[in-house]
Protein backbone atom coordinates (compact mmCIF):
# COMPACT_ATOMS: atom_id res chain seq x y z
CA UNK A 1 0.00 0.00 0.00
CA UNK A 2 1.19 3.53 -0.82
CA UNK A 3 2.64 5.79 1.84
CA UNK A 4 0.29 8.71 2.41
CA UNK A 5 2.66 11.64 1.99
CA UNK A 6 -0.06 14.16 2.86
CA UNK A 7 -0.65 12.51 6.21
CA UNK A 8 3.10 12.51 6.84
CA UNK A 9 3.37 16.21 5.96
CA UNK A 10 0.54 17.18 8.29
CA UNK A 11 1.99 15.16 11.15
CA UNK A 12 5.32 16.92 10.64
CA UNK A 13 3.58 20.30 10.92
CA UNK A 14 3.93 21.04 7.21
CA UNK A 15 1.28 22.21 4.76
CA UNK A 16 -0.34 20.22 1.96
CA UNK A 17 -1.85 21.90 -1.09
CA UNK A 18 -4.54 20.15 -3.11
CA UNK A 19 -7.16 20.59 -5.79
CA UNK A 20 -10.81 19.60 -5.93
CA UNK A 21 -11.56 17.72 -9.15
CA UNK A 22 -15.24 18.10 -10.02
CA UNK A 23 -14.95 16.95 -13.65
CA UNK A 24 -14.99 13.18 -14.29
CA UNK A 25 -11.61 13.18 -16.02
CA UNK A 26 -8.54 11.10 -15.05
CA UNK A 27 -6.49 13.47 -17.23
CA UNK A 28 -7.14 16.34 -14.81
CA UNK A 29 -5.86 14.20 -11.95
CA UNK A 30 -2.72 13.44 -13.94
CA UNK A 31 -2.21 17.13 -14.69
CA UNK A 32 -2.48 17.99 -10.99
CA UNK A 33 0.04 15.29 -10.14
CA UNK A 34 2.49 16.42 -12.79
CA UNK A 35 2.01 20.07 -11.76
CA UNK A 36 3.12 19.23 -8.24
CA UNK A 37 -0.02 19.33 -6.10
CA UNK A 38 0.20 17.23 -2.94
CA UNK A 39 -3.28 15.74 -3.26
CA UNK A 40 -6.45 15.70 -5.32
CA UNK A 41 -9.93 15.78 -3.84
CA UNK A 42 -12.05 13.75 -6.23
CA UNK A 43 -15.44 15.32 -5.69
CA UNK A 44 -18.34 12.89 -5.55
CA UNK A 45 -20.52 15.40 -3.71
CA UNK A 46 -20.85 18.52 -5.89
CA UNK A 47 -18.97 16.82 -8.73
CA UNK A 48 -20.66 14.46 -11.18
CA UNK A 49 -18.20 11.54 -11.17
CA UNK A 50 -19.64 8.06 -10.67
CA UNK A 51 -17.78 5.32 -8.82
CA UNK A 52 -16.28 3.62 -11.88
CA UNK A 53 -14.84 6.92 -13.08
CA UNK A 54 -13.58 7.74 -9.58
CA UNK A 55 -11.67 4.46 -9.56
CA UNK A 56 -9.96 5.41 -12.82
CA UNK A 57 -9.17 8.85 -11.41
CA UNK A 58 -7.55 7.14 -8.43
CA UNK A 59 -5.48 5.08 -10.88
CA UNK A 60 -4.34 8.34 -12.50
CA UNK A 61 -3.34 9.62 -9.07
CA UNK A 62 -1.34 6.45 -8.39
CA UNK A 63 0.41 6.84 -11.75
CA UNK A 64 1.51 10.41 -10.99
CA UNK A 65 2.29 9.92 -7.29
CA UNK A 66 -0.36 12.31 -5.98
CA UNK A 67 -2.49 11.38 -2.97
CA UNK A 68 -6.12 10.59 -3.95
CA UNK A 69 -8.80 11.63 -1.47
CA UNK A 70 -12.50 11.37 -2.26
CA UNK A 71 -15.23 13.69 -1.05
CA UNK A 72 -18.23 11.44 -0.55
CA UNK A 73 -21.74 12.84 -0.36
CA UNK A 74 -23.30 10.38 2.10
CA UNK A 75 -22.08 9.39 5.56
CA UNK A 76 -23.02 5.74 5.25
CA UNK A 77 -20.57 2.92 5.89
CA UNK A 78 -21.37 0.88 2.78
CA UNK A 79 -21.16 3.96 0.55
CA UNK A 80 -17.81 5.10 1.95
CA UNK A 81 -16.53 1.50 1.77
CA UNK A 82 -16.80 1.39 -2.02
CA UNK A 83 -14.64 4.48 -2.54
CA UNK A 84 -12.05 3.25 -0.06
CA UNK A 85 -12.03 -0.19 -1.73
CA UNK A 86 -11.34 1.57 -5.05
CA UNK A 87 -8.03 2.76 -3.58
CA UNK A 88 -8.68 6.20 -2.12
CA UNK A 89 -6.19 7.11 0.60
CA UNK A 90 -8.74 9.24 2.40
CA UNK A 91 -12.42 10.00 2.73
CA UNK A 92 -13.69 13.56 3.13
CA UNK A 93 -17.27 13.91 4.36
CA UNK A 94 -19.38 17.09 4.22
CA UNK A 95 -22.07 18.29 6.63
CA UNK A 96 -20.73 16.52 9.72
CA UNK A 97 -22.32 18.07 12.80
CA UNK A 98 -21.88 15.83 15.85
CA UNK A 99 -19.32 13.59 17.51
CA UNK A 100 -21.51 10.59 16.70
CA UNK A 101 -21.39 11.46 13.00
CA UNK A 102 -17.61 11.87 13.19
CA UNK A 103 -17.38 8.40 14.72
CA UNK A 104 -19.45 7.00 11.85
CA UNK A 105 -16.89 8.30 9.36
CA UNK A 106 -13.97 6.84 11.31
CA UNK A 107 -15.77 3.49 11.57
CA UNK A 108 -16.31 3.42 7.79
CA UNK A 109 -12.71 4.31 6.86
CA UNK A 110 -10.77 2.22 9.36
CA UNK A 111 -10.54 -1.53 9.74
CA UNK A 112 -10.96 -3.28 13.08
CA UNK A 113 -9.90 -2.64 15.80
CA UNK A 114 -9.97 1.09 14.92
CA UNK A 115 -13.22 0.95 12.92
CA UNK A 116 -15.71 -1.35 11.26
CA UNK A 117 -14.72 -1.31 7.58
CA UNK A 118 -15.41 -4.52 5.71
CA UNK A 119 -12.53 -6.51 4.23
CA UNK A 120 -12.40 -8.05 0.74
CA UNK A 121 -9.97 -8.79 -2.08
CA UNK A 122 -10.57 -5.46 -3.84
CA UNK A 123 -8.36 -2.96 -5.65
CA UNK A 124 -7.19 -1.42 -2.36
CA UNK A 125 -5.75 -4.82 -1.35
CA UNK A 126 -4.24 -5.33 -4.81
CA UNK A 127 -6.95 -7.91 -5.38
CA UNK A 128 -5.50 -10.09 -2.58
CA UNK A 129 -2.14 -10.23 -4.41
CA UNK A 130 -0.43 -7.63 -2.23
CA UNK A 131 0.35 -7.77 1.46
CA UNK A 132 -1.19 -10.54 3.57
CA UNK A 133 -4.46 -9.28 5.02
CA UNK A 134 -3.19 -8.81 8.62
CA UNK A 135 -0.30 -6.63 7.42
CA UNK A 136 -2.48 -4.80 4.91
CA UNK A 137 -5.04 -3.92 7.61
CA UNK A 138 -2.30 -2.56 9.85
CA UNK A 139 -0.83 -0.45 7.05
CA UNK A 140 -4.21 0.77 5.80
CA UNK A 141 -5.17 1.94 9.27
CA UNK A 142 -1.89 3.88 9.41
CA UNK A 143 -2.06 5.47 5.96
CA UNK A 144 -5.74 6.27 5.31
CA UNK A 145 -7.09 9.69 6.24
CA UNK A 146 -10.36 10.88 7.74
CA UNK A 147 -11.43 14.44 6.91
CA UNK A 148 -14.71 15.91 8.12
CA UNK A 149 -16.32 19.21 7.18
CA UNK A 150 -17.24 21.92 9.67
CA UNK A 151 -19.73 24.12 7.85
CA UNK A 152 -22.80 24.71 10.02
CA UNK A 153 -23.59 26.51 13.31
CA UNK A 154 -24.43 23.09 14.79
CA UNK A 155 -20.96 21.76 13.96
CA UNK A 156 -19.33 24.87 15.41
CA UNK A 157 -21.36 24.47 18.62
CA UNK A 158 -20.36 20.78 18.89
CA UNK A 159 -16.74 21.20 17.85
CA UNK A 160 -15.17 20.78 21.29
CA UNK A 161 -16.75 17.32 21.50
CA UNK A 162 -16.08 16.43 17.86
CA UNK A 163 -12.32 17.02 18.08
CA UNK A 164 -12.09 14.45 20.88
CA UNK A 165 -13.09 11.60 18.57
CA UNK A 166 -9.90 9.63 17.79
CA UNK A 167 -8.92 8.86 14.21
CA UNK A 168 -9.67 12.18 12.50
CA UNK A 169 -6.80 13.80 10.61
CA UNK A 170 -8.36 17.05 9.35
CA UNK A 171 -11.33 19.22 10.23
CA UNK A 172 -12.15 21.00 6.97
CA UNK A 173 -13.84 24.40 6.87
CA UNK A 174 -16.15 24.94 3.90
CA UNK A 175 -16.30 28.76 3.67
CA UNK A 176 -19.16 28.80 1.16
CA UNK A 177 -21.47 26.51 3.13
CA UNK A 178 -20.36 28.02 6.45
CA UNK A 179 -21.19 31.57 5.36
CA UNK A 180 -24.46 30.36 3.82
CA UNK A 181 -25.51 28.50 6.98
CA UNK A 182 -24.65 31.55 9.10
CA UNK A 183 -26.98 33.70 7.01
CA UNK A 184 -24.39 35.32 4.74
CA UNK A 185 -24.64 33.39 1.45
CA UNK A 186 -21.75 34.12 -0.89
CA UNK A 187 -19.93 36.26 1.69
CA UNK A 188 -17.23 34.10 3.30
CA UNK A 189 -15.03 37.17 3.71
CA UNK A 190 -17.46 38.89 6.10
CA UNK A 191 -15.91 39.64 9.53
CA UNK A 192 -18.59 37.53 11.23
CA UNK A 193 -17.66 34.49 9.15
CA UNK A 194 -13.92 35.05 9.46
CA UNK A 195 -14.30 35.31 13.24
CA UNK A 196 -15.97 31.89 13.30
CA UNK A 197 -13.21 30.49 11.10
CA UNK A 198 -10.63 31.80 13.56
CA UNK A 199 -12.47 30.13 16.44
CA UNK A 200 -12.57 26.81 14.56
CA UNK A 201 -8.84 26.99 13.88
CA UNK A 202 -8.10 27.66 17.56
CA UNK A 203 -10.21 24.74 18.82
CA UNK A 204 -8.95 22.21 16.25
CA UNK A 205 -5.30 23.10 16.56
CA UNK A 206 -5.66 23.15 20.33
CA UNK A 207 -6.73 19.52 20.10
CA UNK A 208 -3.63 18.65 18.07
CA UNK A 209 -5.49 18.15 14.79
CA UNK A 210 -4.97 19.75 11.38
CA UNK A 211 -7.34 22.30 9.89
CA UNK A 212 -8.32 22.38 6.22
CA UNK A 213 -10.06 24.97 4.09
CA UNK A 214 -11.04 25.88 0.53
CA UNK A 215 -9.15 28.84 -0.97
CA UNK A 216 -9.80 29.75 -4.59
CA UNK A 217 -6.99 32.30 -4.99
CA UNK A 218 -3.36 32.70 -3.96
CA UNK A 219 -3.99 35.58 -1.55
CA UNK A 220 -6.65 33.61 0.31
CA UNK A 221 -4.49 30.48 0.46
CA UNK A 222 -1.53 32.43 1.87
CA UNK A 223 -3.73 34.14 4.45
CA UNK A 224 -5.07 30.82 5.66
CA UNK A 225 -1.62 29.24 5.74
CA UNK A 226 -0.46 32.16 7.89
CA UNK A 227 -3.35 31.37 10.27
CA UNK A 228 -1.95 27.87 10.78
CA UNK A 229 -4.29 26.06 8.39
CA UNK A 230 -2.24 23.23 6.86
CA UNK A 231 -4.57 21.46 4.42
CA UNK A 232 -5.54 23.97 1.71
CA UNK A 233 -7.47 23.15 -1.44
CA UNK A 234 -8.38 25.11 -4.53
CA UNK A 235 -10.76 23.99 -7.27
CA UNK A 236 -10.38 22.86 -10.85
CA UNK A 237 -13.09 25.23 -12.07
CA UNK A 238 -11.47 28.23 -10.40
CA UNK A 239 -8.09 27.37 -11.92
CA UNK A 240 -9.46 26.77 -15.41
CA UNK A 241 -11.79 29.77 -15.42
CA UNK A 242 -9.11 32.07 -14.03
CA UNK A 243 -6.51 30.93 -16.55
CA UNK A 244 -9.02 31.25 -19.40
CA UNK A 245 -10.05 34.76 -18.38
CA UNK A 246 -6.44 35.90 -17.97
CA UNK A 247 -5.55 34.48 -21.38
CA UNK A 248 -8.46 36.18 -23.12
CA UNK A 249 -7.81 39.44 -21.33
CA UNK A 250 -4.18 39.39 -22.50
CA UNK A 251 -4.99 38.42 -26.06
CA UNK A 252 -7.77 40.97 -26.48
CA UNK A 253 -6.05 43.90 -24.78
Q: Among 8, 14, 35, 46, which one carries the catalytic annotation?
A: 46
* pLDDT (tens digit per residue) in 75-112: 999 999 999 999 999 999 999 999 999 999 999 999 99
Tell me the backbone φ, ψ of residue 204, rounded to 5 degrees.
-70, -45
- The model carries a pTM of 0.95
Does position 1 have pLDDT exceeding 90, yes or no?
A: no
Q: Is 46 a catalytic residue?
A: yes
pLDDT at 61 over 90: yes
Looking at the DSSP assignment, which residues form a beta bridge with residue 149? 172
CA 232 to each of CA 29, 46, 128, 177, 227: distance values in angstroms, whole numbers, following the listed order: 17, 18, 34, 16, 12
Which residues, at least 6 apart from 252, have a Cβ–Cβ distance to it below 8 Å?
Answer: none
What residue ranges define each of the domains in the chain, with the CATH number in brackets?
Answer: 5-252 (3.20.20.60)
Amino acid sequence: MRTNTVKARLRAGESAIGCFITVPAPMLVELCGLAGFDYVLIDAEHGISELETVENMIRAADATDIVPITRIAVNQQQVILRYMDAGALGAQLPQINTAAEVQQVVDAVKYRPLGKRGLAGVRATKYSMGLPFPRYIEQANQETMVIVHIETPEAVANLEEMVRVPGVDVFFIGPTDLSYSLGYPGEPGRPEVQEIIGRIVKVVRGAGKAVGIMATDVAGAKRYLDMGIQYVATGDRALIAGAAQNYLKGVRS
